[in-house]
Amino acid sequence: MQIGMLDHLQKWFVHFMKMHSWLHKYSAICLSVPAYHAFTPKKKSYQEVSQWNGEEMKGMSRYMLAVVTESLRGGNHTQRPIFNRAIDCTRELLEFDMYGRYESHDDPSLCYMEDALHRFDTYKDSFLLGRAGKNAKAKPNALRTELVRKRKFDQETIPETGIGSKKRREMNAWRDYISHMINTSK
Please determine, for residue 131, whether its predicted confidence score (pLDDT) is greater than 60.
Answer: no
The residue that leads in pLDDT, 55 or 9, is: 9
Please determine, for residue 137, whether its predicted confidence score (pLDDT) is greater than 70.
Answer: no
Question: pTM score > 0.75 for this model?
Answer: no
Distance from C-alpha of 160 to C-alpha of 172, rounded to nearest angstrom: 16
Predicted local confidence at residue 147, as pLDDT: 74
Predicted local confidence at residue 148, as pLDDT: 74
Please determine, for residue 23, whether its predicted confidence score (pLDDT) is greater than 90.
Answer: no
Predicted local confidence at residue 153, as pLDDT: 65
Predicted local confidence at residue 112, as pLDDT: 93
Q: What is the pLDDT of residues 60-117, one digit of tens each?
A: 778 888 888 998 888 788 888 888 999 999 999 999 988 888 889 999 999 999 999 9
